[in-house]
A and B are shown apart, each in its own frame.
Chain A
Amino acid sequence: MKPAKFCAAALVMLLSIMLVAGCAGSRDGANGEENGAAGETGTLVFTANGEEFAREGFLTKDGWEITFDHAYVTLSNITAYQTDPPYDVDQGWEINYEVKVELPGTYTVDLSDPGADPAVVAEETAAPAGKYNALSWNLVRAADGPAAGSVLLLAGRAARGEEEIEFVIRLNEEVAYLGGEYIGDQRKGLLTAGGSAELEMTFHFDHLFGDGTEDENDPLNLDALGFDPLAALAVDGKVEVNTAALRESLDSENFELLQAIMIHLAHVGEGHCLARFLE
């Protein structure tokens, strides 16, 4: 073979390398297929869930039977992401995404509503199809309505033996959360073209009060505030406090514990989130 022909053949082979490499790249594109071709969309349903603890009440680590009349959370900057490789909270706050869906607006939902299993916050009907495996949102002060001024408002009753206390707890400090893929007994966030998929912001209220059905030395209970420190603030059988009042009334150890609980309160299903106070 003449050198010129050999060189031409080599050029053909070089082009074939690029073709082969291109084919390999389309395997990630298979992810892209899973993600749906460009222009294919579906409905992404954003939900919030306080689980049975919020809807049905529960026994705290210190023996109080708690029931909620209301468990309002106010949510904003809700954003879903398609990430590949998948986002992991160990990466920190930097998130590299291929698709991002931002839900405009601020929403207050009552997680104690028996029908809030989970509560639908809002829908995005033109979300690109694909696998949404990260979610971020802010817990913000409600501008108006029954939870005005609070990021989290818990109202209800606590009973232990003959004692009954009515409570209204208004927490006012805003928090940002960022979590990875939903962890639970079903997959969430897999959106097919023309279909719908749920994403869930999950709040674990047993982290705040503890769980009396678990061992007292369970890490959940060791890290929970319980209800006793709040019951100690009752006047005429009623506790009505906000974050500022709790900062003044609780001992510093319990207030710091409350702050830490706010950081660990939100999950994506059972998957932990990064969290930080916004002020």
Chain B
Amino acid sequence: MISKKTAAILTAIGLLLLPNAAAAHGVELSYETVQGIEITARYDSGEPMAGGQVTVYAPDNPADPWLTGTCDDAGKFFFTPDPEQPGWWEVQVRLAGHGDLIRIETGAGGGPAADGTGFTTLQKLVMVLAVAWGLAGTALFFSRRKS
């Protein structure tokens, strides 16, 4: 026979354990902000290509699919390109004998390329410095004293 005191202690321990037991069946949500690309696929009529079969090809291997998926009811598909593979990503969407392909350029870090120049940030920085130095040199040349 368990004493009242022992029963109270066991009940207290049980109550302490109960939230942990419940947590084992809980849901944990987290989020991470990522850069990504959203594709919208529509027929010429403007109707969304709901269920369109999507194939993504990475810049480093245009022959084999990097990712496959399906458009949602609005004809949309989201993916995050591998930041280690800057360059031209190709996305093909097909459904019932119709399809098209789009190319998207990403820069270092996986985001869309900032512009269409094809220059990296380092290259741009070197050019800015060089132009500044060139301007200063030109100014000094014309302002030099005649000996």
B-binding residues in A (CB < 8 A): 3-4, 6-7, 9-10, 13-14, 16-17, 20-21, 23-25, 27-28, 30, 34, 85-86, 131, 180-181, 183-185, 187, 190, 204, 206, 214, 219-220, 269-272
Shortest CB-to-CB span from B53 to chain A, Å, is 9
Q: Which of B101, B123, B133, B136 has the most CB of A within 10 A?
A: B101
Closest B residue to A1 using CB positions: B140
Task: Determine chain A's interface SS by DSSP, over half rule.
Answer: helix
Shortest CB-to-CB span from A54 to chain B, Å, is 14
In the complex, which residues of chain A have a beta carbon less than 8 angstroms from the beta carbon of B129?
Answer: 13
- Contact with B98, one of A6, A14, A20, A270 (Cβ below 8 angstroms): A270
A-B pairs with lowest CB-CB distance, top 5: A10-B137, A13-B130, A270-B99, A183-B99, A3-B144
Contact at B45–A3, with CB atoms within 8 Å? no
**A187 touching B134 in the complex, CB below 8 Å, given contacts A20-B127, A270-B97, A270-B98:** no
Contact at A6–B136, with CB atoms within 8 Å? yes
B119 at the interface (CB under 8 A from A): yes
B42 at the interface (CB under 8 A from A): no
In the complex, which residues of chain A have a beta carbon less than 8 angstroms from the beta carbon of B120?
Answer: 24
Closest B residue to A15 using CB positions: B130
In the complex, which residues of chain A have a beta carbon less than 8 angstroms from the beta carbon of B101?
Answer: 86, 180-181, 183, 271
- Contact with B45, one of A25, A34, A219 (Cβ below 8 angstroms): A219
In the complex, which residues of chain A have a beta carbon less than 8 angstroms from the beta carbon of B87?
Answer: 30
- Contact with B63, one of A4, A25, A28, A190 (Cβ below 8 angstroms): A190
Contact at A85–B103, with CB atoms within 8 Å? yes
In the complex, which residues of chain A have a beta carbon less than 8 angstroms from the beta carbon of B137?
Answer: 3, 6-7, 9-10
Taken together as a complex, chains A and B put the C-alpha atoms of A189 and B91 apart, in Å, by: 16
In the complex, which residues of chain B have a beta carbon less than 8 angstroms from the beta carbon of A4?
Answer: 141
